[in-house]
Structure 1
C-alpha cells in the first residue's frame, strides 16, 4: 500500500488568507505553506482513493504525478472519495470532482445525509453513494479494505444537530495481500479504549495534530474553548498512549495555524507529516 499525504493543515491552511498570527506570519516570511488535510491511498498503484476532499484539492492533485489523468482523455486513477467528516475543509473539494465520469463517495449515513454537495454532484456526474458502517468492512479496488470507527459527534456549523450520530470517524485501511494497515484519525477528540483497540497492530497512523497542547488556543489566539471542546486531542495528551504501541509509526497532521510545529521542527518523539510526503507500507 502507498499513501500520499496531500495536505497537512487544518481548515484555512497555513498561512490562512486572512490571518496575521505568528504562525501565518512566519510561514509567509519563509515562503512555506501547508494545504488543508487529506491523503490518497492505493493498493496496486493503479486505483487510488482520496480520503477527504479539501478546498485545496485541485492544487494537491496537480502536484501529485501519480494522480495525473490518462492515457485516455478523461481517464483518471481516482476511483472514489472516502469521507471522515462532513466539515467544509474535508468536503468542499468534492465540487471540483464534478466532471468525473463516475464518482464513488463513501461516508457514514450521518455524513451523507448532511452533505449539501450531493444534489449538486448528481446534476454533473454519475454519483454512487456507499454507506460506511461500523463492523462492516468495505472493499475497494486494488485489494484494499476500509473499516470505520465513530470517534466524535462534532456537527458542522451549517448542519442540523443530530446528537450521538457518526459525524466523525477514524479509518483503518488494510492491504489484503500484505496484511499492512494504515489508520487515519486527524479529527480525534479523545483516545478511548475503542480507539486504542482500533489502532493496535497497525503499521502507520496519521493522527490529529491540530493543537500541540491544551493551552495553545488560549495562549496563541485568546480562545476560551479547549482543544477537546473543539473536537481535537492535543498532541501532548496523545503521546502517553503512543507508548503502548511501539510497533506503530505515528505522524501528526491537520495542524492549525497556531500550532508551532506547523512552521518549526517538532521535538522527538513527535513526527509531523508534510505535504507531498509518501508512505510505503
Structure 2
C-alpha cells in the first residue's frame, strides 16, 4: 500500500494564524530551520489509483492539490470523477471533520465512522446534516475489532482509544469517540497503524501495534504542561486527550523500544519544539530512532 501524509500538524496548523509562540515566529521569519504544516490527515491507496482519506482537515483543498494522484479525471457523466473512494474518521474533532464540507460538490460521499462519531456529527455539530443538503452521505458504521475490506487487498481494523477528554458536542459517550486504524495490505501482510490522537497507551492499544511495519502516532506536545508554561491554555496535554512525548511514561519512552520499522510522530502542535529541525528535542527524537512527519511524506508499505 501507498501512504501519503497530507497534513502533519495539530489543529490550527503550523504556524497557527493567531500564535506568536517561539516556533511559529521561527517558521514565519525563517530564523530557524522548520517547515510549515497543514492539519493532520493521510491518504492511503492499495494501487496508487484508488485512495482513502483518513480524516478530512480544513486544509483538504490544498492537500488534494498537493498530490496529483488525488486530482480529478475525465469520466462519465462528466469530467469530475475523483479517485477519492471514502473518508475514514478517527474522531469528530473539527480539525478532522471540517474538510467534509469542502467535499460537498461530489456526487456522494462514503463515510466510515463509529456510532459515537456519527452521532456527534449529526446531532452535535450538525455537520453531516449540512453536508447531506449538498450531496448524499453513505455512512459505513465502524465497529472496533472488525476487519473491513476496502478493496484490492487493502483492509482496516479500527480499535477503541480510551479518552477522558470532555466532549464539546454530542451525547458524551466515551466508547468509540476516538479510534485508531490498523490498515493491512493483505497481499504482503504488512500493516500501518494510524493513531493521531491517544491519551494513554493502554495494553489494548499497544496490542494493536504488534508486528506493524509503520506507526504514525500522536506527537501533539513535547511536555505535558507545554501550553500552560507558554501561557496559552490552562490544561495539560493529557487533559486535552494527548499523551506527551517526553517525561515519565511519555510516548517516547514507551514506543522507542518497540521493534517497528518506522515510528513517526504526526498531529504536532504548533508549540512543540520538535518542529524546529535544529532543536535539542528533535535530536532526542532521532537518537531514539523515531521520526517527525512532514506534509508530503510518502511511504510504501
Q: Structure 1 length normalisation: TM-score?
A: 0.95
After superposition, residues 10-29 of structure 1 pair within 5 angstroms as 10-29=10-29
Q: How far 1:46 moved relative to its partner?
A: 1.4
2:181 matched to 1:171?
A: yes
Which sections of structure 2, spanning at least 5 residues, go unmatched?
none
SS of the residue aligned with 2:254?
helix
The superposition leaves residues 33-74 of structure 1 with CA deviations (integer Å, 9 ceiling, x where unpaired) of 110000000011111000000000001111111101103211
Q: How far 1:166 moved relative to its partner?
A: 1.3
Q: How far 1:156 moved relative to its partner?
A: 4.3
Aligned to 2:46: 43
| Number of equivalences | 280
Which sections of structure 1, spanning at least 5 residues, go unmatched?
none
Alpha-carbon separation, structure 2, partners of 1:259 and 1:240: 17
Aligned to 1:264: 277
Aligned to 1:95: 101
Q: How far 1:244 moved relative to its partner?
A: 4.3
Aligned to 1:204: 214
Preserved contact between residue 173 and residue 182 of structure 1 (Cα < 8 Å)? yes
SS of the residue aligned with 1:235?
coil
Aligned to 2:226: 216
Of residues 40-49 and 239-248 in structure 1, the stretch that sits farther from structure 2 once superposed is 239-248
Alpha-carbon separation, structure 1, partners of 2:139 and 2:157: 16
Q: Structure 2 length normalisation: TM-score?
A: 0.89
Of residues 42-51 and 263-272 in structure 1, the stretch that sits farther from structure 2 once superposed is 263-272
Preserved contact between residue 47 and residue 142 of structure 1 (Cα < 8 Å)? no
Which one of 56, 59, 62 corresponds to residue 56 of structure 1? Answer: 59
Alpha-carbon separation, structure 2, partners of 1:141 and 1:96: 25
SS of the residue aligned with 1:60?
helix
Alpha-carbon separation, structure 2, partners of 1:81 and 1:127: 11
Q: How far 1:155 moved relative to its partner?
A: 4.6
Preserved contact between residue 153 and residue 185 of structure 2 (Cα < 8 Å)? yes
Preserved contact between residue 70 and residue 84 of structure 2 (Cα < 8 Å)? yes
Which one of 41, 62, 67 corresponds to residue 70 of structure 2? Answer: 67
Alpha-carbon separation, structure 2, partners of 1:243 and 1:6: 24
Alpha-carbon separation, structure 2, partners of 1:164 and 1:3: 29
SS of the residue aligned with 1:12?
coil
Preserved contact between residue 119 and residue 171 of structure 2 (Cα < 8 Å)? no
Q: How far 1:104 moved relative to its partner?
A: 0.4
Preserved contact between residue 42 and residue 142 of structure 1 (Cα < 8 Å)? no
Aligned to 1:180: 190
